[in-house]
Structure 1
Amino acid sequence: MVSKKVTWGLLAAWVVHDLEELATMPGWTRKKRVMPTTPAQAAIAIGLMGGVFTAAAAAGARTGGRSPFFQTVLTGFGLHSATHVAASLVFRGYTPGVITAPTVVAPFTWWALRRLRREGIRPNTSPRALMWFPIAVGTVHGIAHLATRVRENTALVRQTGH
């Protein structure tokens, strides 16, 4: 059976990585004028994605790393590190998450996949399963955007009495 360091380690690595994103995303998007993200939107999106990672880590722990959901999230997380490096190349500098992508995300994923293989578990992550990654990211950001708009509109109604 695979160690809990592998399964719950996914959640821990995600927390480290997303703390960097939470701290830097709103200011960076405002400065670069790219997909402006407020601190509230970043917090909501990151919190929602945290639910996905918590569920994946729990599924991995429950199945000893054999859960296809866990394996897909683990592999997608590792591939995600490349998007951070690519974004920094495109923007020619720092982008949110680029520090922990090559120092935490990629090494953890590589280590965890090796540990699974040592235990005789061959991660079976289909390209179709990995397509859920951009869908999940888009969905949590969309929900975060809508949630903050609803909150802003509610506050405006309270202020104006309409």
Structure 2
Amino acid sequence: MTWGLLAAWAIHDTEELATMAGWAHRARPRLESRFPQVPWERLEVSQRHVNVAIGLMGVVMAGASALGARTGGRSPVFQAALAGFGLHGAAHLAQAAATRGYTPGVVTAPVVVIPFSVWAWRRLRSAGVPVSSGRSGWAAVAAFPVVLGGVHALAHALTGSRHPDDSVRTGAARPRPAARRARPTGRDRWF
């Protein structure tokens, strides 16, 4: 079960690896017109950035899984990673609902991430493993965005830019999309 976290993460992040950079670029005009207050230019990432960020997160997940295996699932780091992974799956579903379409990771979130997380927590409890709760549980939840932000910041430092084009990297203004655009249909909307 502890190494299953790494396996489930790998399946899920393979979807993100294959779709994140392209989706961010294609979806940006639609999202800018729908949510103009969000700094979308900061969220668009290059494939190189995605590759490095996912690799770094893989190191984190491998370490957490190893600690979990060594402690029979008792490691607070393992339990924090498991909690963050499950919440991450729920966040994918919320993002897809908010954007009214596909977002990277939403396909594997309900079929891999969330079911694995629920199964793993049940397995820990049935084995009599004390699970983090209360303050330590909230600390795990709070740590997830910090770790994710740290991974992306390090990926940015290692790749030189998160952005796939020079206009964003140099700070040059990109033209804003028209106030209203036609709703995407077919493949563009969901994939």
Task: Give the TM-score, by structure 1 length.
Answer: 0.86
**Which of residues 55, 58, 62 is equivalent to 1:47?**
55
2:13 is equivalent to residue 22 of structure 1: no
Q: Which residue of 2 aligns with 1:136?
A: 147
Match of 1:58? Answer: 66
Pair 1:117-2:125 in alignment: yes
Q: Does 1:88 align with 2:83?
A: no
Report if aligned partners of 2:64, 2:81 keep a CA contact under 8 Å in 1: yes
Q: What displacement does 1:146 show?
A: 2.0
Output the CA distance in 1 between the equivalents of 2:139 and 2:60.
18
Please state whether the residue corresponding to 1:12 is helix, strand or coil. helix
Code of the residue aligned with 2:15 in structure 1: it is E
Helix, strand or coil for the counterpart of 1:131?
A: helix
Q: Distance in 2 between matches of 1:149 and 1:26?
A: 16
Moved more, 16-25 or 74-83: 74-83
| Cα distance, 1:122 vs structure 2 | 2.8
Distance 1:140 1:72 in 2: 16
Consecutive unaligned residues of structure 1, counting only runs of 5 or more, are 1-5, 151-162
| Structure 1 equivalent of residue 5 of structure 2 | 10
The corresponding residue for 2:76 is 68
Q: Partner of 1:36 in structure 2? A: 44
What CA RMSD, in Å, does the superposition of the two structures yield over aligned residues? 1.1
CA distance in 1, matches of 2:140, 2:123: 21
Equivalent residues of 2:81, 2:140 under 8 A apart: no
Moved over 3 A (4+): none
1:119-144 CA-to-partner distances (Å, cap 9, x unmatched) read 00131142022211001111111111
- Aligned counterparts of 2:98 and 2:104: Cα–Cα separation in 1: 13
- Once the two structures are superposed, what CA deviation does each residue of 1:12-44 show, in whole Å capped at 9, x if it has no partner? 000000000000000011112241111100010
Unaligned runs of 5+ in 2: 29-39, 162-191
Is the CA contact (8 Å cut-off) linking 2:84 and 2:140 kept in structure 1? no
Q: Letter of the aligned partner of 2:149 in structure 1?
A: G
Q: State how many pairs are aligned.
A: 145
Identity %: 54
8 Å Cα contact 2:92/2:103 also seen in 1: yes
